[in-house]
Amino acid sequence: MAMSGAARAWVVVTAVVAGLASAALVAVAVLADLDTAGQAASVAGAVVGLLALVVSVLALFRTGAPAAGARSVQSGGGVGRAITGDRNRLRSTAPPTPASSPGTAATAVPGERGVSAAGGVGHAVTGDENEES
């Protein structure tokens, strides 16, 4: 799975901060005593736990379209005609009217070459070398 530049930067920052925190806890254990190191680790664990809670709540309310499969079609409304694939030969020129069905806010995320619509789908052609007269 490819990571964006921002995601990669966050991974690096997180790794550096975690490494520094681990080194600091080891230094406290070596230079002070285990009781002090235990208390410091407890506070650090509580802070990390609270940060993880904030990140998970933000992820729940994240906006953005879910990722769909390769060469797929996803619509928030109706689709008259959806064609995916290579070397399809279609003779009909008038796009069909989407089948009437009530639209919903959420649609399923289609897999590879899939079609998903909140409204109806009039005609879907998927795959390669389909021929229609």
Q: What global pTM score does this model have?
A: 0.43
* Residues 53/94, Cβ–Cβ less than 8 Å: no
Query: What does the alpha-carbon distance between residue 98 and residue 84 come to, in Å, rounded to a whole number?
Result: 17
Q: In this predicted model, what pLDDT tens digit does every residue of 11-56 receive, in sequence order? A: 899 899 989 988 998 898 899 888 888 898 899 999 999 999 988 8
What single-letter DSSP state applies at residue 129?
S
Query: What is the number of H-type helices and E-type strands within the chain?
Result: 2, 6
pLDDT of 120-133, one tens digit each? 776 677 767 667 76
